[in-house]
């Protein structure tokens, strides 16, 4: 499996939160060679199970990587000029997930109407805006998607509520870095594939349930539901975390190509964190600590409190320019993350849960 090619395919397929059917198929194709069974549930989560080699009733680890991405939705159809039978049609927008509106003008998009329609995000030039808007970034009152069709034709093809995804082919930068849309979180989907591939050549006692979750960018729908239905003994969320770069030189951002970051904080079980750290040590891999003092902003939040509570860990791949169409990651970090996940899985034995429980009562 070639990581670049996998990412190229995973990022070109649209999957805004709530419209994950197509991306689920692509994730399925990527994971299938390395697992025993595959299935999908009623909210779109895609499950891939690798049975472990353990005796009797095996423990089960859920590894979750969300497959949805931020996007847009049609909120209204408009026309210009107002009083014409042959007016041009335009689509007004609502964001799906945390879209940074400053990046939208000039983007290419695909409108998922009756069929896929290529379009652009346009707006009037500043000199035609109201006076009080001329020095502000464009907002949703000003931006519109333009597919170039007259309103009459547009109404046949597009309805309020239709999804819009971004169109931005994956690009190679220097140093094995890549840039494009939806690398949050297709980078992690690829890392899980790397892990499953490693594990197909390695003994592991636990069953592994890899899940590509839905609607993480909006309400973590897939995390809550998949942890409930699968009843795992432990869980890992794999997601991207903030890469250090232009505009992000704060504390708790991570250099690209310097290894994954392990989440720590209320959403993470300290015993899982420790086990991940040990797995990294065994691989002599540099990993970083990514503190989330409250809400981690990832599937870990939902996984942890399913049923009676699930010991959960969080692994992050550093990514620059999160929630833009030029998200940037280093491919070696994806490979490292895959290796780390595999090492973690292989290190789980039948006693691990008891160790975790004991750890909670340590003096």
Partner 1 sequence: MNELLRQLTEATGVASDEKEIRLLIRDLIEPHVDEWRVDTMGNLLAVKRGTGERSLRVLVDAHMDEVGLMITDVDSDGTLRFTPVGGISDRTLLGKVVQINARGGKKITGVIGARPIHFLSAGERSKIVSVDDMRIDIGAGKKEEATGKVSVGDLATFVTGYQELGQIAMGKAFDNRAGCAALITLLQREPYPFDLHAAFTVQEEVGLRGARVAAYGIKPDLALVLECTPAYDLPNERDISPNVMLGKGAAIYVMDRSTIQDPRLVRHVMRTAQENEIPFQIRQPGGGGTNTAAIQRATTGIPAATIATPARYTHTPAAMINLKDFENVVRLAEATLRNLSSELFERQTSTA
How many amino acids of this chain bind partner 1 (CB under 8 A)? 66
Cβ closer to partner 1: 61 or 300? Answer: 300
Q: How far apart are CA 90 and CA 110, in angstroms?
A: 14
Count, residues in the chain: 363
Q: How far apart are CA 197 and CA 191, in angstroms?
A: 10
Cβ closer to partner 1: 171 or 219? Answer: 171
Report yes or no: 138 and 123 within 8 Å, Cβ to Cβ.
Answer: yes
| 151 three-state secondary structure | helix
Residue 270 found at the interface with partner 1 (CB under 8 A): no
DSSP H/E element including 275: helix 270-282
Sole binder of partner 1 in the list 168, 214, 229, 267 (CB under 8 A): 168
Residue 326 found at the interface with partner 1 (CB under 8 A): yes
Residues from 93 through 132 that contact partner 1 (CB under 8 A): 98-108, 117-120, 122-128, 130
Residue 80 found at the interface with partner 1 (CB under 8 A): yes
| 116 three-state secondary structure | strand
Sole binder of partner 1 in the list 206, 242, 254, 352 (CB under 8 A): 242
Nearest approach, Cβ of 166 to partner 1 (angstroms)?
9
Residue 174 found at the interface with partner 1 (CB under 8 A): yes
234 forms beta bridges with: 61
Nearest approach, Cβ of 296 to partner 1 (angstroms)?
12
Residues from 134 through 153 that contact partner 1 (CB under 8 A): 135-139, 144, 146-150
Cα–Cα–Cα angle for 283, 284, 288, rounded to 5 degrees: 105
Nearest approach, Cβ of 137 to partner 1 (angstroms)?
5
Q: Which of 326, 292, 67 is nearest to 193 (CA)?
A: 67
Cβ closer to partner 1: 15 or 97? Answer: 97
Report yes or no: 285 and 357 within 8 Å, Cβ to Cβ.
Answer: no
Q: How far apart are CA 209 and CA 198, in angstroms?
A: 15
Residue 169 found at the interface with partner 1 (CB under 8 A): yes
Phi, psi of 54 (to 5 degrees): -65, 155
**How far, CA to CA in Å, does 303 sit from each of 87, 209, 290, 323, 341?**
50, 13, 18, 22, 17
Using the contact rule CB under 8 A, the part of the chain among 1-9, 59-67, 166-174, 276-284 near partner 1 is: 166-174
Residues whose CB is less than 8 angstroms from the CB of residue 56 and which lie 6 or more positions away in sequence, other chains included: none
Sole binder of partner 1 in the list 2, 55, 56, 81 (CB under 8 A): 81
Sole binder of partner 1 in the list 53, 152, 160, 173 (CB under 8 A): 173
Residue 47 found at the interface with partner 1 (CB under 8 A): no
| 318 three-state secondary structure | strand
Using the contact rule CB under 8 A, the part of the chain among 270-278, 303-311, 319-327, 334-342 near partner 1 is: 319-327
Which residues here bind partner 1, judged by CB under 8 A? 78-82, 88, 90, 98-108, 117-120, 122-128, 130, 135-139, 144, 146-150, 168-169, 171-175, 177, 179, 242, 245-248, 250, 257, 297, 320-326, 328
């Amino acid at each position: 499996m070639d990581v670049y090619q996998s990412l190229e395919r995973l990022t070109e397929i649209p999957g805004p939160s709530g419209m994950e059917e197509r991306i689920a198929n692509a994730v399925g194709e990527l994971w299938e060679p390395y697992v025993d069974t595959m299935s999908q549930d009623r909210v779109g989560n895609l499950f891939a199970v690798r049975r472990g080699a353990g005796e009797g009733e095996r423990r089960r680890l859920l590894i979750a990587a969300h497959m949805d991405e931020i996007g847009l939705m049609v909120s209204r159809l408009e026309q210009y000029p107002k009083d014409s039978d042959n007016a041009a049609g335009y689509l007004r927008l609502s964001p799906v997930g945390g879209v940074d509106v400053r990046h939208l003008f000039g983007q290419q998009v695909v409108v998922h109407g009756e069929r896929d329609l290529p379009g652009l995000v346009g707006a009037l030039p500043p000199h035609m805006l109201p006076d009080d808007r001329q020095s502000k970034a464009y907002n949703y009152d000003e931006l519109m998607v333009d597919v170039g069709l007259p309103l009459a034709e547009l109404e046949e093809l597009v309805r309020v509520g239709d999804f819009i995804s971004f169109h931005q082919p994956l690009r190679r930068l220097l140093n094995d870095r890549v840039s494009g849309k939806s690398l949050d979180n297709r980078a992690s989907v690829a890392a899980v594939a790397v892990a499953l591939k490693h594990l197909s050549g390695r003994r592991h006692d636990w069953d592994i349930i890899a899940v590509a979750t839905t609607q993480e960018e909006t309400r973590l729908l897939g995390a809550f539901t998949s942890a409930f239905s699968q009843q795992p003994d432990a869980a890992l969320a794999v997601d991207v975390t903030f890469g250090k770069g232009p505009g992000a030189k704060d504390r708790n951002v991570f250099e690209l190509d310097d290894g994954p970051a392990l989440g720590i904080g209320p959403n993470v079980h300290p015993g899982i964190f420790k086990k991940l750290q040990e797995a990294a040590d065994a691989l002599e891999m540099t990993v970083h600590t990514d503190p989330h003092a409250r809400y981690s902003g990832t599937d870990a939040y939902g996984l942890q409190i399913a049923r009676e509570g699930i010991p959960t860990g969080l692994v992050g791949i550093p990514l620059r320019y999160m929630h833009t169409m030029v998200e940037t990651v280093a491919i070696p970090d994806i490979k490292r993350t895959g290796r780390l996940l595999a090492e973690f899985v292989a290190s789980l034995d039948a006693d691990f849960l008891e160790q975790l429980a004991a750890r909670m009562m340590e003096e």
